[in-house]
Amino acid sequence: MTVHAIELRDLHKYFGKNEVLKGIDMTVEQGQVVCVIGPSGSGKSTLLRCVNLLEAPTRGKVFVEGVEVTDPDVDIDAVRRRIGMVFQQFNLFPHMTALQNVMIAQQRVLKRSKREAEVVARDNLDKVGVGAKCDSLPGQLSGGQQQRVAIARALAMNPSLMLFDEPTSALDPELVGDVLTVMRKLAEEGMTMLVVTHEMGFARQVADRVVFMDGGVIVEDGAPAQVIGDPRHERTRAFLHRVLHPEE
């Protein structure tokens, strides 16, 4: 049996009485890129955040590389170390330079030496195209640059999979491309990625699978050409119509 990168089994999440995830079953294989699309409030972020337990699932199981992370005995910090996460609002540490942002967890969590952490940090900042901004504070960077620093920060931990929660939604339109280019490159290198996005072009070109969520359930799960190009369900069709033709 091959080990899935991510496996969700009958995942339920309640916020109080509000059931936000209503039994999600889903797998992501090693090296796959899976894009999650769906209307606002459908539970996409919650789903993503259940994978690294930023939200505790109410019921059901989450496996990451075969390890059940919902097991109360599991060392969640150790699990999170292997899961990179990129947020819509970047969440860079504003009191640290770009370089320090990428170094700090390497030093404090992986116990790398300062020198080693710096080498790794510079490599990753170069890789995402912000190597020249090492000494800038997040407040001095554009949104696109900040998001790329945030990606470098996650990559520096050598994660085996990456979660992206609408990484380009807070960006000015002209900066979206830079971030998507970096993500595309990561995908080509074989990184396992679970991406919540509204970028249909990206999903179509890069994703191995597209998952459409609505109302806390997975409505459709399949190849991008099928889910985006030829959706089976009326809800998917209506959503795509709204996303692709917002002016109507």
Partner 1 sequence: MADQPKTAEPGRARLSPRKKQQVSRTIQYVVLIAALVAVVLYADWASLAQNFAKPDVARQALPDLFTIALRNTIIYTVGGFVFSFVLGLLLALMRLSQVRPYRWIAVVYIEIFRGLPALLIFLMITFLPLALPGFAVPFGTYGQGILGLGLVGAAYQAEVFRAGLQAVPKGQTEAARSLGMSATRAQVTVVIPQAIRMVIPPTTNQFVALLKDSSLVLFLGVSGEYVELAKFGNDLASQYANATPIMVAGVTYLIVTIPLGYLASRLEGRKGRNR
Ligand X SMILES: Nc1ncnc2c1ncn2[C@@H]1O[C@H](COP(=O)(O)OP(=O)(O)OP(=O)(O)O)[C@@H](O)[C@H]1O
Which of the residues 37 through 66 are near partner 1 (CB under 8 A)? 52, 54
Q: Which does 83 bind (CB under 5 to 8 A by kind): partner 1, ligand X, Mg ion, none?
A: partner 1
Q: Does 81 bind partner 1 (CB under 8 A)?
A: yes
| Residue bearing tokens 């999979």 | 161
Task: Measure the CA angle with vertex 27, ends 25 and 33; round to 5°.
Answer: 135
- Is residue 66 near ligand X by the rule CB under 6 A? no
C-beta of residue 38 within 8 angstroms of C-beta of residue 70: no
Amino acid at 98: A
Q: Annotate 160-178 with DSSP letters as a single string.
A: SEEEEESTTTTS-HHHHHH
**Which residue, among 229, 195, 225, 230, has the nearest Cα to 213 in the 3D structure?**
195
Q: Residue 45 or residue 70: which is nearer to Mg ion going by CB?
A: 45
Q: Which does 46 bind (CB under 5 to 8 A by kind): ligand X, Mg ion, partner 1, none?
A: ligand X
Query: What is the DSSP track for 54-91?
Result: SS--SEEEEEETTEETTSTTS-HHHHHHTEEEE-TT--
Is residue 185 at the binding interface for partner 1, with CB under 8 A as the rule? no
- Interatomic CA distance for residues 236 and 212, integer angstroms: 7
52 scored as a contact of ligand X (CB under 6 A): no
- CB closer to partner 1 out of 67 and 110: 110
The alpha-carbon radius of gyration of the chain (Å, integer) is 18
- Site pattern 19..48 for ligand X (x: CB under 6 A): -x-----------------x-xxxxxxx--
Residues 6+ away with beta carbon under 8 Å from 78: none
Least gap, CB of 46 to Mg ion (angstroms): 8
105 lines the binding site for partner 1 (CB under 8 A): yes
Restricting to residues 206-225, which ones interact with partner 1 according to CB under 8 A?
none
To which H or E segment does residue 202 belong?
helix 200-206
In this chain, which of 32, 45, 146, 236 binds Mg ion, going by CB under 5 A?
Answer: 45
Report the interface residues with ligand X, using CB under 6 A. Answer: 15, 20, 38, 40-46
Report the interface residues with Mg ion, using CB under 5 A. Answer: 45
Report the interface residues with partner 1, using CB under 8 A. Answer: 52, 54, 77-78, 80-81, 83-85, 87, 89, 91-95, 104-105, 108-110, 139, 150, 153-154, 157
